Amino acid sequence: MEEYDLLVKLLVIGDSGVGKSSLLLRYAEGTFSEHHLATIGVDFKLRTDTVLNKRVKIQVWDTAGQERFKSIAIGYYRGAHGIAIVYDVTNEQSFNNVKNWLEQITDHASEHAQLILVGNKCDLDRERCVDRARGEELANSLKIPFVETSAKNSVNVEAAFSKVVTKVVEDNIEHHG
Ligand code: GDP
Ligand code: MG
């Protein structure tokens, strides 16, 4: 049987089409598909890592196409240790909607959940309409980390998730030794 010290539940949320499933696939399996991943077939993907000397089992949950606000079951947020809020740097609306996702987090997630703001598709520079500075500014105002990623080119995907996982593990060590 596989052994681990800590199980970390991460959520990836954000508008439809921003690349949530792609980020998850890149992070958990190191692959990418040009197609819209309507559903990944399961609710989550697993990955194991050693973080701060702890063996960590990381469970990353996908919304599997239920991205309309309020339609995601409240239970989805329950027990989440970390949440990546994703927008698409080529989609203004997805950036504007970040505030709606934050509202859901406030309503349903633990106040201890570690958040990160993720601007995905940074490889599409010619189509970009959300400047890096705007993402940074928003994240600063929320006092959460920010990173621009490309699931396609594997830019910062590892960094984005590991930032969150490390913070979760740090919190756990503080509280439980
Ligand atoms: P979801 O609805 O948020 O899960 O989005 P998907 O992961 O299904 O991605 C939607 C579309 O965007 C697909 O066609 C992906 O191939 C594409 N996509 C996702 N991430 C990236 C990226 O980093 N760069 C580019 N160029 N396309 C991406
Ligand atoms: Mg998806």
Q: Is the CB of 21 under 6 A from ligand 1?
A: yes
pLDDT at residue 66 above 60? yes
Closest-lying ligand 1 atom to the alpha carbon of residue 86: 3
Give the number of other CB atoms < 10 A from CB of residue 73. Answer: 10
| pLDDT confidence bin for 56, thresholds 50/70/90 | very high
Sheet holding 6-13, edge to edge: 44-51, 54-61, 6-13, 82-88, 114-120, 146-148
The answer to whether residues 47 and 58 touch, using CB atoms and an 8 Å cutoff, is yes
Q: What residue ranges in the chain does DSSP mark as E strands?
A: 6-13, 44-51, 54-61, 82-88, 114-120, 146-148
Question: What digits encode the pLDDT tens for the residues 135-156?
Answer: 999 999 999 999 999 999 999 9
Ligand nearest to C-alpha 86: 1
19 lines ligand 1 (CB under 6 A): yes
Q: What is the pLDDT of residue 52?
A: 94
pLDDT at 166 over 80: yes
Nearest 10 degrees: Cα torsion 99, 100, 101, 105: 90
> Which ligand 1 atom is the nearest neighbour of the CA of 35?
14
Q: For ligand 1, atom 19, which residue shows the shortest CA distance?
A: 19
Is 59:9 a contact under the CB 8 Å cutoff?
Answer: yes
- pLDDT for 41 equals 45
Q: Nearest C-alpha to atom 10 of ligand 1 is from which residue?
A: 17
